[in-house]
Amino acid sequence: MRRPALSLSVLRSRPTRAALVISVAVFVMLAAQNDGPPPRPTPTPLPTLTPGDNPVRVTSIPALLKALADNTVDEIVVANGTYHVSPSGQQRADSLWIGGDRFANRTRPITVRAETVGGVTFDGGGGSAFGALSFEDGAHDQTWDGFRFANMTAEYTGIIEVGGYTPRRTPYNIRLRNMTVLASCTGRATTASGSTWDHALYLAHAVGTGPHDILIENLSVDGSGNLASAIHLYHGDATNPGSSNVTVRGLHVFGTQSAIIAAVDGLHHVTVDGADIGGAKAYAVLFESTNASDIVFRNITSVRSGRGGFFSSLGSSPPGVTLTNNSFN
């Protein structure tokens, strides 16, 4: 699961439209008060999805994984509580490594949700080398809704990961809703420069088409534990492409080094629509993807970024990127 360090010369994580406008307005108003750090966003949870036809309630990680491998199950409800998880790459009985034949061979879409939004915490017990939740090796058509992540250290990866450092079969049709990465999820980006290794959500690469059709709604990241980013798009080549057809709606970020980092050649079809970002050590958005196409950043508000709201060595309006209705500070 380890990744080489990302070296960037410039470095010396669905609400309704009305709710989003109100949230951003309040965020900007509070940020205008210069007597203290930027406020941590408090997003409104998205409503619970419609129940499935064959739901299963579980009270342990092994039971969750067993139900997830059962193709007759279309909904898993995880009882409220705190659950210890081991790093996903270790593939232990309590590791949320969602990949391999037992999940890739499913033919039914499935929803895995907390009993109530925010009522379930996946806790790393202070361990390192996380990924906590990884979608790899053919995982597909899954929705995960309402989970929090705590007490773990990311190392060359993301607390949540789609695709992997070792390219395997493509994960696709992955939907993440109402996810919260707490400040106790830590990394090594202690300054605005360098150490761009450890992230909240890492969108990586895979064999063939690369990870695709990924929807992220209402992701909240407190990066004050020195995570490098809330959302990191990196890794990819002609044989093992990076992630594409990615949509992010309602992103809420505080205190990361940069909230969004895109640094893979040929990045395409990525939309971030609606974000409030506060207190980034470096940039709200750092864009270093050459040969990009169909990239959209819109309705993003950032305040008190250490070096600037948006930066790219490719220019203020990089090729392939559309910037609409943003306020970058």
Q: What is the helix (H) or strand (E) element at residue 235, kind and residue range?
A: none
Residue 177 forms part of a structural domain: yes
Strands 158-162 and 199-203: parallel
- Would you write out the chain's pLDDT as a tens digit for each of its 329 residues? 444 445 443 333 334 434 443 344 434 443 444 445 555 656 677 777 777 788 999 999 999 999 999 999 999 999 999 999 999 999 999 999 999 999 999 999 999 999 999 999 999 999 999 999 999 999 999 999 999 999 999 999 999 999 988 899 999 999 999 999 999 999 999 999 999 999 999 999 999 999 999 999 999 999 999 999 999 999 888 899 999 999 999 999 999 999 999 999 999 999 999 999 999 999 999 999 999 999 999 999 999 999 999 999 999 999 999 999 999 99
Distance CA 72, CA 308 (A): 50
Residue 6 forms part of a structural domain: no
Do 204 and 156 meet the contact criterion of CB atoms below 8 Å apart?
Answer: no
Q: 73 lies in which domain range?
A: 17-324
Distance CA 38, CA 259 (A): 14
Residue 91 forms part of a structural domain: yes
Residue 9 forms part of a structural domain: no
Residue 316 forms part of a structural domain: yes
Query: Is the alpha carbon torsion for 141, 147, 152, 157 positive or negative?
Result: positive
Q: Structural domain tally of the chain?
A: 1
Residues shown for the chain: 329
